[in-house]
Structure 1
Amino acid sequence: MSLLILGLALFLGVHSISIIAPGWRDAQAARLGENAWKGIYTLLSLAGFALIVIGYGQARQAPLVLYVPPVALRHVAALLMLPVFVLLLAAYLPGRIKAAVKHPMLVATKLWATAHLLANGNLADLLLFGGFLAWAVADRISMKQRVQRPLPGAPAGRFNDLIAVLAGLALYALFITVGHRWLIGVAPL
Structure 2
Amino acid sequence: MIWLILGVLLWSGAHLFKRFAPDARAKLGEKGKGLIALILVGSIVLMVIGYRAMDFIPVYNPPYFLLHLNNLLMLFALYFTSPGPSKGALFYKMRHPMLTGFKIWAAAHLLVNGDLASLILFGGLLAWAVIEVITINKSEPDWQPNEKGSIAKDAMFFVASIVLLGVIGYIHGLIGPSPFPG
| Normalised-by-shorter TM-score class | 0.7 to 0.9
Q: Check conservation: 1:90, 1:98, Cα contact below 8 A.
A: no
Structure 1: tracts of 5 or more residues without a match? 151-155
Q: Following the alignment from structure 1 to structure 2, what is the Cα–Cα distance between the partners of residues 179 and 101?
A: 30
Q: Does 1:188 align with 2:173?
A: no
Which shifted more, 90-99 or 1-10?
90-99
Q: Check conservation: 1:81, 1:111, Cα contact below 8 A.
A: yes
Change (3 A) 1:116 1:81: same
Q: Following the alignment from structure 1 to structure 2, what is the Cα–Cα distance between the partners of residues 103 and 78?
A: 22
Count of residues in Structure 1 that have an aligned counterpart in Structure 2: 175
How far apart are 1:36 and its partner, in Å?
0.7
Give the root-mean-square deviation of aligned CA atoms: 2.4
Q: Does 1:144 align with 2:137?
A: yes
Q: Following the alignment from structure 1 to structure 2, what is the Cα–Cα distance between the partners of residues 157 and 91?
A: 9
Q: Following the alignment from structure 2 to structure 1, what is the Cα–Cα distance between the partners of residues 13 and 84?
A: 22
Deviations 1:65-100 (A, max 9, x none): 111111111112112112111111127963335523
Q: Following the alignment from structure 1 to structure 2, what is the Cα–Cα distance between the partners of residues 101 and 31?
A: 32
Q: Following the alignment from structure 1 to structure 2, what is the Cα–Cα distance between the partners of residues 13 and 91?
A: 28
Q: Does 1:12 align with 2:12?
A: yes
Give the corresponding residue for 1:153: none
Q: Following the alignment from structure 1 to structure 2, what is the Cα–Cα distance between the partners of residues 141 and 102?
A: 11
Q: Check conservation: 1:87, 1:164, Cα contact below 8 A.
A: no
Q: Does 1:161 align with 2:157?
A: no
Instruction: List aligned pairs for 1:1-189, cutoff 5 A.
Output: 1-19=1-19, 21=20, 24-25=21-22, 27-33=23-29, 35-59=30-54, 62-90=55-83, 94-147=87-140, 158=150, 160-176=153-169, 178-182=170-174, 184-189=175-180
TM-score, scaled to structure 1: 0.82
Q: Check conservation: 1:86, 1:164, Cα contact below 8 A.
A: yes
TM-score, scaled to structure 2: 0.85
* One-letter identity of the residue aligned with 1:8: V
Q: Alignment identity in percent?
A: 36
Q: Following the alignment from structure 1 to structure 2, what is the Cα–Cα distance between the partners of residues 97 and 132?
A: 27
Aligned partner of residue 101 in structure 2, secondary structure: helix
